[in-house]
């Protein structure tokens, strides 16, 4: 009996160590994805603002490099024959992704990375809330309060200010437009089935639209030659590989934990902007961040 108990203890201890190892691995992968998402704001800011690249050229490089990576991963997972989506879902995905890239790329040259990520994050929340109203989904009291706080946080960002605390209203408007695009893209993605295939196809078909934008704007060749590096990194690594890794991790963690983890993205972006771009967040940013992130956290409560 003692030998049996000892063997049982060994087996249980071994299983616990494996569970702990898996938990730490999931935590590390989730943290890596959040850093990748936040890095998009920093990398695009580097390309458009610091290197002086045109937003259309940056958007095209990001979409095309991301499409190559995502297509390779999707074909490896499902084969070329598996790259299919219903036309209505595909069309809506391409249009809303293009809207996101358009607003995001322009705004990256006008507002700081942390402010941009916070604005994007807040508008995604508000757009998805509006989508829930449109589709007549049941909305809890906490989600109403959360959406109101997120909206108040974005309003705080636009309060009249002087000096370094001033936020370019055009940049804010373009990032808000990007947030609407990404929110609509996320709502449409609920119908897409396989998210990796949907994202690969959406990136691939949105890239020609960015090319048309780039040629029409005539902004290719502007800025420093090193600007291609953050643009490609944003597309191939932090977007392409980042989304692919997120879709791999997402089924392994609770939906509430996935949503809460994304609360860290604006804060990581602000930290990255401070370290890489020397953009120091103002006190007003932190107040707005507390309202937006607190509002989103409240909206995750399940109770009415």
Interhelix angle for 195-217 vs 169-189, to 10°? 150
Structure tokens at 237: 């690594």
**Range with lowest mean pLDDT among 56-70, 72-86, 152-166:** 152-166
Structure tokens at 120: 């994007």
Give residues with Cβ within 8 angstroms of 92, minimum separation 6: 184, 188
Say if CB 46 and CB 234 are below 8 A apart: no
Does residue 16 belong to any structural domain of this protein?
no
Percent of the chain with pLDDT over 90: 43
Q: Is residue 122 pLDDT above 80, yes or no?
A: yes
- State the total domains in the chain: 1
Give the model's pLDDT for residue 174.
Answer: 97
Q: How far is CA 84 from the centre of its chain?
A: 24
pLDDT-derived band of residue 98, with 50, 70 and 90 as boundaries?
Answer: very high
Give the model's pLDDT for residue 304.
Answer: 53
Does residue 5 belong to any structural domain of this protein?
no
Burial class (CB in 10 A: 0-12, 13-18, 19+), 10: exposed
Does residue 269 belong to any structural domain of this protein?
yes
Give the model's pLDDT for residue 256.
Answer: 62
Count how many residues are written for the chain: 304
Does residue 2 belong to any structural domain of this protein?
no
pLDDT-derived band of residue 54, with 50, 70 and 90 as boundaries?
Answer: very high
Does residue 211 belong to any structural domain of this protein?
yes
Query: Between 115 and 222, whose confidence is greater?
Result: 115
Give 286-291 contacts, CB < 8 A, sequence gap 24+: 287/153, 287/156, 288/118, 288/153, 288/154, 288/156, 288/157, 289/118, 289/153, 290/153, 291/149, 291/150, 291/152, 291/153, 291/156
Q: Is residue 9 pLDDT above 50, yes or no?
A: no
The mean pLDDT of the chain is: 85
What is the C-alpha separation between 57 and 240, in angstroms, rounded?
18
Domain residue limits at 127: 29-299
pLDDT-derived band of residue 21, with 50, 70 and 90 as boundaries?
Answer: low
Structure tokens at 64: 């095309």
What is the C-alpha separation between 47 and 58, in angstroms, rounded?
7
Does residue 15 belong to any structural domain of this protein?
no
Give the model's pLDDT for residue 4.
Answer: 45
What is the C-alpha separation between 181 and 72, in angstroms, rounded?
25
Percent of the chain with pLDDT over 70: 88
Give the model's pLDDT for residue 12.
Answer: 42
Structure tokens at 275: 């370290």
What is the C-alpha separation between 179 and 118, in angstroms, rounded?
10
Of 45, 41, 38, 40, the closest CA to residue 227 belongs to 45
Q: Average pLDDT, stretch 240-266?
A: 80
Q: Is residue 261 pLDDT above 90, yes or no?
A: no
Instruction: Please state the pTM of the whole predicted model.
Output: 0.84
Give the model's pLDDT for residue 19.
Answer: 43
Does residue 8 belong to any structural domain of this protein?
no
Does residue 19 belong to any structural domain of this protein?
no
Of 31, 47, 101, the closest CA to residue 267 belongs to 31
Say if CB 125 and CB 147 are below 8 A apart: yes
């Amino acid at each position: 009996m003692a030998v049996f108990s000892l063997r049982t203890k060994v087996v249980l201890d071994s299983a616990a160590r494996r569970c702990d190892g898996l938990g730490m691995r999931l935590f590390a992968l989730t943290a890596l994805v959040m850093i990748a998402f936040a890095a998009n704001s920093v990398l695009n800011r580097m390309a458009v603002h610091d290197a002086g690249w045109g937003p259309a050229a940056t958007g095209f490089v990001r979409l095309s490099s991301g499409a190559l990576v995502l297509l390779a991963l999707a074909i490896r997972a499902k084969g070329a024959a598996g790259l299919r989506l219903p036309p209505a879902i595909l069309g809506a995905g391409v249009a809303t992704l293009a809207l996101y890239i358009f607003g995001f790329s322009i705004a990256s040259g006008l507002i700081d990375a942390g402010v941009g990520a916070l604005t994007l994050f807040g508008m995604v929340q508000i757009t998805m809330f509006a989508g829930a109203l449109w589709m007549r989904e049941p909305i809890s009291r906490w989600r109403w309060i959360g959406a109101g706080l997120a909206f108040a946080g974005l309003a705080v960002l636009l309060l009249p200010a002087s000096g370094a605390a001033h936020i370019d209203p055009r940049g804010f408007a373009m990032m808000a437009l990007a947030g609407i695009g990404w929110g609509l893209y996320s709502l449409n993605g609920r119908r897409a089935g396989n998210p990796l295939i949907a994202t690969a196809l959406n990136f691939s078909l949105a890239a020609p639209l960015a090319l048309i934008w780039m040629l029409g704007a005539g902004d290719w060749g502007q800025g420093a030659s090193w600007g291609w590096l953050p643009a490609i990194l944003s597309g191939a690594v932090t977007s392409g590989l980042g989304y692919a890794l997120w879709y791999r991790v997402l089924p392994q963690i609770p939906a509430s934990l996935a949503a809460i983890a994304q609360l860290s993205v604006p804060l990581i972006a602000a930290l990255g902007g401070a370290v890489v771009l020397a953009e120091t967040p103002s006190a007003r940013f932190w107040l707005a961040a507390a309202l937006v992130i607190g509002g989103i956290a409240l909206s995750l409560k399940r109770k009415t």
